[in-house]
Amino acid sequence: MDDRRGGVGQPHAPRGPDLERGAVTLLRELGSGFALSTGLKGSRYDTGAGATATGLGTLGLERYWAAYRIAWTGYVAAVERSWSLSNRIALDRFYGEENRIGIALAAGRELESSGARVLSTPVLGASVGGRHGLGGGWAVTYEGSLQRQGEYYTRAGGRLGLRRRF
């Protein structure tokens, strides 16, 4: 893999268990530009209304070729005794030494605990984002996104950041 891309074959790519915050992520390079990933995360939130346990499982498949990456990630989420499925697909183009631009589409269901019950709503989302290197380990990161949360609301947002790689 090309070390400039920030993905498979990178020293900073997930390679083994990450036990911080109750999470484990595993990545396996399959050859020919393919990679398979899986992960589990568990959390517990204590509020005045009681405690809520959550879980998230992921399964992903990526393919790198030439200056591109395509990736699919499936999610299984659990809140208390309810569960939901979601999917995300992303396409990235790499250019220059540390640069990338990409789009992503996501669809599924989101769970939220109100204390008395778990609310499940359909979610659709799209984003455009990337990273543009400035030299010396510095880069500008950016993202614009749009998310529709069932019939409740549509949210648009963006972020702009400065990254320093050590």
pLDDT above 90: percentage of residues in the chain: 61
Closest CA to 96 of 8, 3, 11, 4: 4
Yes or no: say if 118 and 82 are a contact pair by the CB < 8 Å rule.
Answer: yes
E strands of the chain, at which residues? 23-31, 34-47, 50-65, 68-79, 82-95, 99-113, 118-135, 138-149, 153-164
Q: What residue segments make up the domains of the chain, in order of their start?
A: 20-164
Closest CA to 24 of 13, 11, 38, 10: 38
Give the confidence band of 10 by pLDDT, cuts at 50, 70, 90. Answer: very low
Q: What is the mean pLDDT of the chain?
A: 85
Verdict on whether the full-model pTM lies above 0.85: no
Tens digit of each residue's pLDDT (9 = 90 or more) over 42-90: 888 776 666 778 899 999 999 999 999 999 999 999 988 889 999 999 9
Give the confidence band of 160 by pLDDT, cuts at 50, 70, 90. Answer: very high
Which overall architecture, per CATH, does domain 20-164 show?
Beta Barrel (2.40)
Average pLDDT value for residue range 95-112: 93
